[in-house]
Amino acid sequence: MRLTDHLAAKRRLYHRPTPVMPDVLMIDIPAALVSDSLPLGRFYPIILEAAQELNEMEAFLHASRSSLVRPDLFDRRPSAIESRCVLIARYTPPAPGWPWLLLCRWPSAYTAMLPAGDDLFA
């Protein structure tokens, strides 16, 4: 079983609106698999900071496995994008029916104030 055949069959890439922000791969989770823990209703966003991360994620989604798994391989990876100020960017939906996205990039001095393990995506 591959995630591209089930969990991630419908997905779109939101291209970075500015060079200092990441791309976002948005997965439209099938209704039978939707959970209240998803940050955007039925949508599951994956932040991609570099082109090789898109390739890594696509390989992960296409890999054969015995059961469905959460595509969270970047969740605990340190950010490669640095900023000295708060940045806010609006991502236009890449196709009709996909959500608008507003992403905020916080300087590492701010995120370092959070206790370890806190979720930084909101």
Q: Which run of H or of E encompasses 61?
A: helix 51-62
pLDDT given for residue 58 in this prediction: 93
Distance of alpha carbon 36 from the chain centroid: 17
88-104 residues labelled b (16+ CB within 10 A) or e (exposed): ebebeeeeeebeebebe
pLDDT tens digits, one per residue of 9-48:
999 999 999 888 999 999 998 888 788 877 778 898 999 9
117 confidence band (pLDDT: 50, 70, 90): low
pLDDT tens digits, one per residue of 58-113:
998 999 998 887 777 777 777 777 778 888 999 999 999 999 999 988 887 777 77
pTM: 0.83
User: Please, which residues bridge with residue 104 across strands?
Assistant: 88
pLDDT given for residue 27 in this prediction: 93
122 confidence band (pLDDT: 50, 70, 90): very low
Rounded to whole angstroms, how far apart are CA atoms 119 and 113?
13
pLDDT given for residue 72 in this prediction: 77
User: E strands, 29-115, where?
Assistant: 43-48, 87-91, 101-105
Answer for the pair 37, 109: CB distance below 8 angstroms, yes or no: no
Answer for the pair 39, 121: CB distance below 8 angstroms, yes or no: yes
* CA-angle at 88, arms to 22 and 38, nearest 5°: 65
